[in-house]
Amino acid sequence: MVAEFFSALSLAAVWLAFFVCLFIILLTGTKLSRYGDIIAVRTGLGGAWIGLVLLAIVTSMPELVTGLSAIIVVHAPDLAVGSALGSCIYNLLIIAILDFVYRGGSIYSGIQHSHSLSAGFGVVLLGALASAIFVQKHFAPPGLGPVGPYALIAPVIYFIGIRSIFYFERRENEIYASGLVEAVQVRRLEPPPLVLKSVYALFAVNAVVLTGAATALPVIGQALAINMGWDETFVGTIFVALVTSVPEVVISVQAVRIGAVDLAIGGLLGSNLFDLVILAIEDFAYLDGPILYAASDQHLLTAIAALTMTGIALVGLCARPRARVFRVVAWASLGLLAVGLFSALILFLLSP
């Protein structure tokens, strides 16, 4: 119904609605970064944890709504799978963008070690997804069951990962508090003097507004993309995934600007973990069999590209390079850009 409304508008009106949504996301995303940083500092949970759970879930809501709409309303499993996987690639590309924006040296050298654990669980989930796509397409018959094996194991891996990262970061904070290891100090902007209850309320209000605008954005973007005659797999993986990743870009860049680097990286890696769980949720919503069986083979390429990029990010997080190539970005960021752009080019060439 919403898609039909935007489709009935003139092209100029659709573009106007598109940019209005972008402006709302920019405004609320900036505030969410500040309020999320205040919550991380005041509660002692840390930016990595708040970004991994709180911001990641908020910014991933558009992917969830878009995917469920693609399945229930337009019966397009390709669009749903492509949107989730494409968002994973975009989130990793955002890390490279943050490395370019960050002026304190390489962004990998000034963040907590718990992000390596987040990326590691991302590798596990992406490996399970790529394996599931291959098995579903080549061995499992259509009538195997209502859901595939990935839908059953992905939520378990996610909750194990979240729990492991929570306890790992708590132990790390205890070590820093004991003075045995010096924590990395990043220059931060002073947060405004607000009562914590007010911060929670302001965070919730801005999260609801951002979710509403970000949910409408892919509907508008999809209408624009389809009018251009693009292939459904390409539209889901490249264009719709791009517009659903706008909140991550806004929040992450703003978080880096105020010095909350852990909040930015945690939000991006956590968003990837949640996006991969969204595929499991979509499998339960798709009633015509396992969603990965109905999706295109091209998504295996996207999953492998995301897996490779997560591996590159993991190496960068562990190696913590300080030097920048041509004084611009770290070598890990160049690897992320190269794999991301190459996979987008291949998908575009494969689309009819």
Residue range 16-62, pLDDT digits in tens: 877 888 888 888 888 888 888 888 777 777 667 788 788 888 888 87
Highest mean pLDDT out of 77-81, 119-123, 171-175: 119-123
- In the prediction, which pLDDT does 30 show? 81
252 Cβ neighbours under 8 A, 6+ residues apart: 33, 94, 97, 98, 264, 265, 267, 268
pTM: 0.82
What gap in Å lies between CA 284 and CA 54, rounded to an integer?
24
What gap in Å lies between CA 22 and CA 30, rounded to an integer?
12
What gap in Å lies between CA 202 and CA 28, rounded to an integer?
10
Model confidence at 9, in pLDDT bands (50, 70, 90)? low
Q: How would you classify residue 229: left for phi > 0, otherwise alpha for psi between -120 and 50, otherwise beta? A: left
- The partner residues of 325 in beta bridges, in order of sequence, read 329
Model confidence at 174, in pLDDT bands (50, 70, 90)? low
Query: What residue spans define the domains of the chain?
Result: 2-350
- The CATH number given to 2-350 is 1.20.1420.30
What gap in Å lies between CA 203 and CA 218, rounded to an integer?
23
Residue range 142-156, pLDDT digits in tens: 545 678 888 989 999
Model confidence at 183, in pLDDT bands (50, 70, 90)? very low
Kindly provide the b/e burial profile for residues 187-220, where b requires at least 16 CB atoms within 10 angstroms of the residue's own CB: eeeebeeeeeeebbebbeebbebbbbbbbbbbbb
Dihedral pair phi/psi, residue 230, rounded to 5°: -80, 155
Residue range 288-345, pLDDT digits in tens: 888 888 878 888 888 999 999 999 999 988 888 777 777 778 888 999 999 988 887 8
- The partner residues of 329 in beta bridges, in order of sequence, read 325
Kindly report each contact of residues 317-326 with a partner whose C-beta sits within 8 Å and lies 24 or more positions away, as own/partner.
317/108, 317/111, 317/113, 317/115, 317/116, 317/119, 318/116, 319/108, 320/106, 320/108, 320/109, 321/106, 321/108, 321/109, 322/105, 322/106, 322/109, 323/106, 324/105, 324/106
